[in-house]
Structure 1
Amino acid sequence: MKRLLLALVLAASPAFAVQPDEMLADPALEARAREISKGLRCLVCRNESIDESNASLARDLRILLRERLSAGDSDAEAVQFIVARYGEYVLLNPVAGGANWLLWAAGPMMLLVAGGTAWAYLRGRARPVAPDRPLSPAEEERLRRILED
């Protein structure tokens, strides 16, 4: 039973997403390809890297990446080639520049706005509400009688 469970866990492991026929003969080049593919998003699986995904598009991207590296591209050139074809969405960790600054800053800005709103709300609740005008003698007498009962 333990062996069956171990076999199931290993079969579901993302280490087996890269097929043997995709791997490069040069171990250093293969290591570069694996490192780069960990930072590229599978466009089918969304939050998986192409290194972890078993989707056919992820396989195509892995093969394309290995072809570019075999052709002599640097890591940056290979990634730029894929980004030029598929857009910045293919990057699991997009660059913090240009229009992406809005996305990078949105979280902290919303946290500051929520904190400021909470602070203003709690501060407003702490203040005693003063009456618009003082009580008349008749109202003071009525209030005194209510409080005595």
Structure 2
Amino acid sequence: MRRLALTAALLLAFPLPGAPARAQEEQSTAPYAYRQLDDPAKEASAQDLMETLRCLQCQGQSIADSDAPIAGSMRSLVRERIAAGETPEQIRTWLIERYGDYVSYSPQLTGLTWPLFAVPAILMLIAFLLLRRRFSSRGEVQ
């Protein structure tokens, strides 16, 4: 009996190699993380959407390219909602409401984000006017 208790204690203290990985594979909470939808049109729609959504953990990859657990959960969520009949824009809107504008590679024009769109245009206009003024004044001197 003592040997059995000792063996059990050792197995709990030092689990077999690979056991946690097998347990994670068996207990996946994101069924569509690595499994495609049966309908090719819906899968293409889901894939197109996933390529435009940023992984919140990786910060430089889309959820389609990332192996992070949260990206897998987001892929599964996108596929489940596409399969349920939601449009990609409805899903994008829901994800932006949940995670913020950062989750999308194509930010929406809002009251908070308009400077991100306006400042580059204003800088280009100023550069154009300065260059035009400089080159037009050279023509007058000659």
Relative to the length of structure 2, the TM-score reads 0.61
Q: Measure how far apart 1:20 and its partner are.
A: 7.6
Larger radius of gyration: 1
Instruction: Report the equivalent of 1:85.
Output: 98
- Is the aligned partner of 1:47 residue 2:21? no
**Gaps (5+ residues) in structure 2?**
1-31, 135-142
Q: Residues 5-84 of structure 1: matches in 2 within 5 Å?
A: 21-84=34-97
Instruction: Report the equivalent of 2:116.
Output: 103
**Gaps (5+ residues) in structure 1?**
1-18, 122-149
In structure 2, distance between residues paired with 1:120 and 1:100: 31
Instruction: Report the equivalent of 1:8.
Output: none
Q: Measure how far apart 1:91 and its partner are.
A: 0.7
In structure 2, distance between residues paired with 1:111 and 1:27: 43
Native 8 Å contact 1:22 1:62 kept in 2: no
Q: What are the Cα deviations for residues 22-75 of structure 1, in whole angstroms up to 9, with x where unaligned?
A: 311221111110011111111122232111222221111111111111222112
Native 8 Å contact 1:41 1:47 kept in 2: yes
Count residues in correspondence.
110
User: Identical aligned pairs, as a percentage?
Assistant: 35
In structure 2, distance between residues paired with 1:47 and 1:106: 24
105-114 vs 68-77, greater mean Cα deviation: 105-114
In structure 2, distance between residues paired with 1:75 and 1:20: 17
DSSP 3-state at the match of 1:45: coil
In structure 2, distance between residues paired with 1:40 and 1:73: 16
Q: What are the Cα deviations for residues 109-132 of structure 1, in whole angstroms up to 9, with x where unaligned?
A: 2344566678899xxxxxxxxxxx
Flag the structure with more relative contact order, 1 or 2, with Cα contacts below 8 A and sequence separation at least 6.
2
Relative to the length of structure 1, the TM-score reads 0.59
In structure 2, distance between residues paired with 1:105 and 1:29: 36
In structure 2, distance between residues paired with 1:23 and 1:30: 6
Residue type of the alignment partner of 1:62: R
